[in-house]
Amino acid sequence: MMSDFDHRRLDEVFHSRIRLAIVAALVPVEELDFVSLRDLVGATDGNMSTHTKRLEEASYVEVRKRFVDRKPSTSYALTEKGRKAFASYIEELGRFIR
Amino acid sequence: MDQETTPQDDLAFIRKMMDGSRALIKNDGREFLAIGLTCVLGTLLSYAFAYAGAAAFIPWIWALFIAGIAGTEFVLARSKKARPKSAAESYIGAAWLAAVVAGGAILGGGALAGKMDLSLGMGVTSAFVGVGYAFTAYASRSIILGVLSIFWWIGALILPGIGGYGAPAGLAALTFCLEVVPGIVLALRSRRTENDE
């Protein structure tokens, strides 16, 4: 049976499994530190840096840097634009399933 | 996507990620215990000072305790032990701030106008704590917190009717039952979860 699901309507930022995982993990929280996010997603440090950079460029994710016990700490938070893009992506997937 | 997946796979994967991150949001009862124990101690000290005829020291006791809580929260928020927060917690924080400011304005205004006695003040405090609990219950979809907010409002109905120094003691008992006890339960549950992990 033919479906009206058109993959071109899906946001290409989410075409990467790691980027999708990062954004999904950030949805329920205000922000998440690099280590927790990396462990949750199950990616390497290098992969994480590449994909968070891509999400940052798309303005979907905001990077927050601060010092904790005099050591630099990096956290990530979803922007309003990222939240809306993720909601649209879910809606598109849901439309196909229905 | 990187590999061939169906939309169902994607949704299941997304749900798994969201559940994983949600599991990091733990309420270890720290705030409940800190605020609850401080309020119980502050109320009992207020009772003791008022009983000893040294009521002038009471505002200073509270100022010291509130500064202590704010300082502890500030340090913990910047320590490496700071836990991830849910997006709803920002709104809960704003709701509590609004409840504290509104309650403080009524208590302060009433005290300045000389129309606020000890019993009424304790009732007003209980009413606004109930408001804070109700907002938290709504934002966090917690039935238990909703029930606790109703008990705070029952306290607000009863406390103004208690004369003399009974109202601060009543508020202390209420704070112990509705703030400290849930805090202990959350702390024990959090410790048990950590041990299981």
- What are A76's two structure tokens? 């990530």
CA distance B86 to B32: 17
Side chain identity at residue B120, one-letter code:
L
Asked if the Cβ–Cβ distance from A21 to B3 is below 8 Å, we say no
Asked if the Cβ–Cβ distance from B10 to A93 is below 8 Å, we say yes
Asked if the Cβ–Cβ distance from B3 to A17 is below 8 Å, we say yes
Asked if the Cβ–Cβ distance from B90 to A30 is below 8 Å, we say yes
> Which pLDDT score is estimated for A61?
95
| B2 close contact with A: CB closer than 8 A | yes
| Minimum distance, in Å, between the CA of residue A60 and any CA atom of chain B | 16
| A90 close contact with B: CB closer than 8 A | yes
| B111 close contact with A: CB closer than 8 A | no
CA distance B55 to B121: 14
Directed axis angle between helix B118-139 and helix B143-158, to 10°? 170
Contacts of B85 in chain A (CB under 8 A): 29-31
Contacts of A73 in chain B (CB under 8 A): 80
Residues B154-187 have pLDDT tens digits of 999 999 898 777 887 888 888 888 888 877 777 7
Closest alpha carbon to A90 in A4, A11, A17: A11
**Which phi and psi angles does A76 have, rounded to 5°?**
-125, 145
Its pTM stands at 0.58
Looking at the predicted complex, does its ipTM rise above 0.90?
no
Contacts of B24 in chain A (CB under 8 A): 29, 32, 36, 40
Length of chain A: 98
Residue predicted with more confidence, B29 or B94? B94
Residues B108-163 have pLDDT tens digits of 888 788 888 878 888 898 999 899 888 888 876 778 888 999 999 999 999 989 87
Contacts of A27 in chain B (CB under 8 A): 18, 21
CA distance B115 to A93: 61
Whether the predicted pLDDT of A4 surpasses 70:
no
Asked if the Cβ–Cβ distance from B22 to A28 is below 8 Å, we say yes
How many CB pairs (< 8 A) connect A and B?
Answer: 80
> Which pLDDT score is estimated for B162?
87
- The burial of B116, by beta-carbon neighbours within 10 Å (0-12 exposed, 13-18 middle, 19 or more buried), is given as middle
> Which pLDDT score is estimated for A15?
84
- B118 in Cβ contact with B47 (< 8 Å): no
> Which pLDDT score is estimated for B51?
79
> Which pLDDT score is estimated for A29?
84
